[in-house]
Structure 1
């Protein structure tokens, strides 16, 4: 049985993890010294992201295990479970804490100080988060080109929850840093703590939106997300590329993990062969299909003459 390689998502997660630890520590120190609500929200955001990276690394490790008798389709769906836990962590440890702290700052305002330190930390954080986001963006863009999609579409539709999480969280982090900068700058310019507190609340709302999107995407794959038409057409093209296969009358594709498909198809074999020869030909095609990095298991059956052929526009 083959074991799927986790591609380069682990590298992306590790880069994000290292960046988040450095950023979280710097933000926490700046928040304690400056007393800024926006900086406190950003510190909570970075610590939430750091914890999430741990869950994402666990997700990749568990999902990469070989299938066995207890899990005939493998452990790929573990990735969606652990990624969903990470998304819940982002919501509770990041969004809720940020919103509550912003509201508290509105009710009992505390003037901030040492704005220079806050600006320096925000600038450093922007660079580190930018490096991590660039890695996730490059990987997402490469996958998008392979499937003829735009990058954002690939992130939303991808079966890879860890890459989607890193991309979304790093993107939110960059936006959050700009919000925090605006809140602190307005606090310094006006002397009022309201912009800073509002900045903290806005960061929390941003994290909540990202968390809800990630939770929803993982939920969809856990309950059986249908493959997109481009993936279906790519698999149909691969099937019809075998000289033995004349036509396809049924094709079922189901994600059983990140970049892993369970394929069931009813096909018509070229010519009129003996039953034994047909069985051998079908099994050989199944094995060759399973050599594809995306196919966890392939099951082919014979179509009857009266069944209509499936039509794939791009095939």
Structure 2
């Protein structure tokens, strides 16, 4: 089970309960938006746990490349939930408060709840931040770049949602402060709308990233270069021609390549040699399946396929 997602689920569930109680007690529009935000996040973590669990199933006869892409399907549901249950509710309630403002009171309760929520959300965010940072350092990539481009949709979602949660608390707190200072409910309502807009932006980014991986995302140039170097260094390989690596799940790729073998062996020996190389590549847990063919000597890497 993904520890980062579990931490986020527990934090969001506790925060959602506290914010809901505070929203009913104070009547603050920004607090209602924050409650909707946290309930959406808590529900999304359930989707992410399902995504993590189902994507780990081993390949079988009906799914020879495994079930890794299920992670993107369930993460897409989570992102849609964030958009509908979080963004739409927050924006709608904010607009309603602008048109027909209600009474708000007991602002101290709101401040206490937001403070506690910030601490709990911060704990979850630190956990996600550390994991993203470790992975980014391992492959020499910027932290934010890795958070956006990682093939693990659950890690990206938790990182993005927790970051949005912290920023949303700041926005809501500002709206409530201005409401109390000015006596006008308008800043509070605008705070609710801004929280909704923030959630909509995060949801759209997450939906787009999951869409890209669902339709087939090729590995980064860095991973392709590493794979080409490894192939070229394998026993009996003279050079590498065509190379394609496509993500079929979190940290899982399908590799297709053509190689020029040393010597001029008979067809049966070449077939055995290629199968041996495929088996060696598949010992890497990141490679679900490897398919190698023979290329012509001197064939350029990834020839132009535009004429097909």
What's the TM-score, normalizing by structure 2?
0.95
- Identify the match of residue 256 of structure 1 among 248, 256, 269: 248
Aligned equivalents of 2:35, 2:92: Cα separation in 1: 14
1:89 correspondence with 2:89:
no
Shift of 1:309: 4.5
1:232 correspondence with 2:224:
yes
The aligned residue for residue 32 of structure 1 is 24
Deviations 1:221-277 (A, max 9, x none): 111122211121122122223132221110011111111100010001223434443
Aligned equivalents of 1:14, 1:61: Cα separation in 2: 12
The aligned residue for residue 202 of structure 1 is 194
1:20 correspondence with 2:12:
yes
In the TM superposition, 1:124-163 aligns within 5 A as 124-163=116-155
- Identify the match of residue 77 of structure 1 among 45, 69, 78: 69
Aligned equivalents of 1:111, 1:150: Cα separation in 2: 46
The aligned residue for residue 296 of structure 1 is 288
Q: How many residues align?
A: 303
Aligned equivalents of 2:26, 2:233: Cα separation in 1: 64
SS, match of residue 177 in structure 1:
helix
The aligned residue for residue 308 of structure 1 is 300
Deviations 1:136-155 (A, max 9, x none): 11111111122211011111
The aligned residue for residue 3 of structure 1 is none
Shift of 1:306: 4.7
1:45 correspondence with 2:45:
no
Aligned equivalents of 1:310, 1:205: Cα separation in 2: 43
What's the TM-score, normalizing by structure 1?
0.93
Aligned equivalents of 2:106, 2:227: Cα separation in 1: 59
The alignment yields a C-alpha RMSD, in angstroms, of 1.4
**Residues 247 and 309, structure 1, Cα contact 8 Å, conserved in 2:** no
- Identify the match of residue 54 of structure 2 among 62, 69, 76: 62
